[in-house]
Amino acid sequence: MKQLFLILFLCGISLTSFAQRIIMSGVDLQQPANIGHRDTIDQAVQLEVFFDQVDVDTILKSTVTYNLMLQLGEKYSQYCSYGEYRIDSLIYATKGHPTLGEFQEVMTKYFRRPSYGFVHEYGTPTFRENHTLMMNRYRADDSTVVMNWQMHPDTLRVCGLLCHKATTHFRGHDWTVWWTEEVPIDAGPWKFHGLPGLILKAQDAKGLHLIEATAMRQPLLPLINCRKQGFRKVTPAFLRKEEKAVALNYAERAKALGMFEVKSAGPKRHFYSPYEEEE
């Protein structure tokens, strides 16, 4: 079964008709999907913000753009891939019981990258990160996310909202962000927080990362889910170390997991553009 899901995901097979009973490779797509338990931690989402996140790997000379969603709830915010958001939307629309065919359609239609997500409780320095590295799922609680901001008089409009400039140094990067008083919520993409209003744009001084809001809307999904089942609890330090090890030895790790065969014996690097670095 795992091999079938991997093949379908990698090949990008489009599954369409759900009106009939469909059988593919002996799998009944009308059977319930095994999606695992998700805890609803906030049922009063106030705003949804779309972000484009651009990351650069200077070694591979590669640039990747991701589409992510920031949900702003009553007590929590969540920043995750748009694909993950669409899966939560499917679960909500089907009252927690999507079929295998419906689930597979979302999986193949929407790009579930990056493979991590963050949940933040307002007013605290703690972020819960769920991160899938290859076929391993990890969960880490980072309780030391404190950003010391310097305010600047500069202004900029993002998504039509007047934003103010602030800068900080955090875990190896110098950041410039733009936040707005028009949405007085202490939240932002990634782990950004600690300002009087919503952060809509962030860029590091090295030119490796740019995150910018592209649109916002009233919520279509009124709740925030947090996954625990199937995730191994680790420390943030372990997660950063493992993230780097997987990226720098991607082919060998894949071979060890039996995902595919690697012809060359040497390690092959995968895209790697860390937001946190040792100082």
Average pLDDT over residues 130-136: 89
Range from 11-15, 153-157, 187-191, 213-217 carrying the lowest mean pLDDT: 11-15
More confident residue, 26 or 59: 59
d(CA 118, CA 204): 19
Question: Confidence class of residue 108 from pLDDT cuts 50, 70 and 90?
Answer: confident
Region class of 123: left (phi > 0), else alpha (psi between -120 and 50), else beta:
left
Report, in angstroms and rounded to the nearest whole number, the Rg of the chain calculated over CA atoms.
20
**Percent over 70 (pLDDT), the chain:** 84
Q: How far is CA 10 from CA 91, 166, 249, 261, in A?
A: 23, 41, 20, 15
For the stretch 138-163, pLDDT in tens is: 999 999 999 999 999 999 999 999 99
Average pLDDT over residues 163-168: 99
For the stretch 6-56, pLDDT in tens is: 333 333 333 333 333 333 456 777 886 776 667 888 899 999 999 999 999
Q: Over 70: is that where the pLDDT of 258 sits?
A: no
Q: Over 50: is that where the pLDDT of 237 sits?
A: yes
For the stretch 115-132, pLDDT in tens is: 999 999 999 999 999 999
Write down the pTM of the prediction. 0.84
For residue 77, give both structure tokens. Answer: 């915010």
Instruction: Please give the pLDDT value at position 138.
Output: 95
Q: At 87, phi and psi to the nearest 5?
A: -65, -45
The full length of the chain comes to 279
Rounded (5°) CA angle 210-212-187: 105
Q: Is 184 helix (H, G, I), strand (E, B) or coil?
A: coil
**Percent over 90 (pLDDT), the chain:** 59
d(CA 150, CA 170): 12
Q: Which residues pair with 224 in a beta bridge?
A: 42
* 136-142 and 232-234 beta bridge pairing: parallel
> What's the mean per-residue pLDDT of the chain?
85
Does a cis peptide bond (omega within 30 degrees of 0) precede residue 153?
A: no
d(CA 141, CA 4): 33
d(CA 205, CA 239): 24
Range from 133-137, 145-149, 196-200, 224-228 carrying the lowest mean pLDDT: 224-228
d(CA 273, CA 60): 10
HSE of 123 in the Cβ direction (CA atoms, 13 Å)? 2
Question: Confidence class of residue 263 from pLDDT cuts 50, 70 and 90?
Answer: low
**Angle, helices 82-93/100-109, rounded to nearest 10 degrees:** 160
